[in-house]
Amino acid sequence: MALKTEHLKEAKAALKSMSSQREKKLTRADFVTGLIKDIHAKMTAGFSLAEICEELNKTLPEDDQFKMNTFKTYVRRARTKAGIAPTRAWTRRTGPTEPKIQTVPDKGKTKVQKEDPASDFRDQGGDL
């Protein structure tokens, strides 16, 4: 069975009558990526991620609401993707620590020794 040119015209008309773009469902990660500039602006204004997450959850259906840890992960990834720097440094140290050393005279020469070998194992914020 051969197709006629009128079938071609009907098919073209059917394709044109379809909506230009099908509605795409956003993932929650895409949702956060789309809002990352606004989220970052609120963070620099002094709002915490917990407050922002709570406010966004008010606008979402019950099944699609964020858990806090998931929201933090999405924000971190979206910020990296957008090239936005974190609002604060995520370290506990405020500056470099000064080593505890003392000088011990050794036959006219000054020898530098560490005060306590246990100081090599500084607490890094976790259990070993």
Whose tokens are 């999405």? That residue is: 74
The answer to whether the predicted template modeling score (pTM) of the entire model surpasses 0.75 is no
- The predicted model gives 35-46 an average pLDDT of 90
- The predicted model gives 35-56 an average pLDDT of 91
Q: Residue 21: pLDDT above 90? A: no
- The predicted model gives 1-19 an average pLDDT of 78
Q: Which residues of 80-117 are buried (b: 16+ CB within 10 A; e: fewer)?
A: eeeeeeeeeeeeeeeeeeeeeeeeeeeeeeeeeeeeee
Mean pLDDT (the chain) is 77
- The predicted model gives 51-56 an average pLDDT of 92
Delimit the domains of the chain by residue range: 26-82
Q: Residue 67: pLDDT above 70? A: yes
pLDDT digits (tens, 9 = 90+) for 73-125: 999 999 999 888 877 766 555 566 565 555 555 565 555 555 555 555 555 55
Q: What is the pLDDT of residue 84?
A: 86
